[in-house]
A = this chain, B = another copy of it.
Amino acid sequence: MHFLDIGEVVERTGVPPSTLRYYEEIGLIRSVARHGLRRQFDHDVLMKLSLIAMGKAAGFSLPEISGMFGRDDRPDIPRDQLHARAKELERQIVELRMLRDVIRHVADCPAPSHMECPSFRKLLKSATTTPASRPPKPPAARVRPARRR
């Protein structure tokens, strides 16, 4: 059998059935057949799900991700959009690094009140000035937690 039963997909990807059905509902993936009621998926759904996971992790919304797959179901994304996203990720990385530094500082600085610690203020200032260079509102990638139970 070269089709994958939904149960198999679940098992191999960890993506819950409800999510798979939801993805199909919104046209993000599609099942190629049924076995009784059971959805059967083409083998390459696995790759697609990886890409979807990555896309989500990179901050694309599901509609954006589905926009990335051409009619032929292969990834097909405008290069400039990708570059923009890479840049946005870069910005996010910088921000996280700053935050990490602030947090480390707070953890280690012996000053009684951080507000009065000059190096804290400095960190904070650089952390808050840089994003100010953001235009009004950035397209903003978001990294969602891997939900698990």
A interface residues with partner B (beta carbon < 8 Å): 44, 47, 50-51, 53-55, 57-59, 74-75, 77, 79, 82-83, 85-86, 89-90, 92-93, 95-100, 102-104, 106-108, 113-115, 124, 127-128, 131, 134, 136-138, 140-146, 148
- Report the copy number of this chain in the oligomer: 2
* Minimum-distance CB pairs A-B, first 6: A82-B107, A137-B148, A140-B145, A58-B99, A143-B143, A142-B145
Contact B145 A54, beta carbon cutoff 8 Å: no
B contact residues around A128 at 8 Å (CB): 50, 53-54
Contact B124 A146, beta carbon cutoff 8 Å: no
Q: Which of B44, B54, B95, B113 contacts A57 (CB 8 A)?
A: B95
Q: In angstroms, how far is the closest chain B Cβ from the Cβ of A62?
A: 13
Q: Which of B58, B96, B124, B145 contacts A50 (CB 8 A)?
A: B124
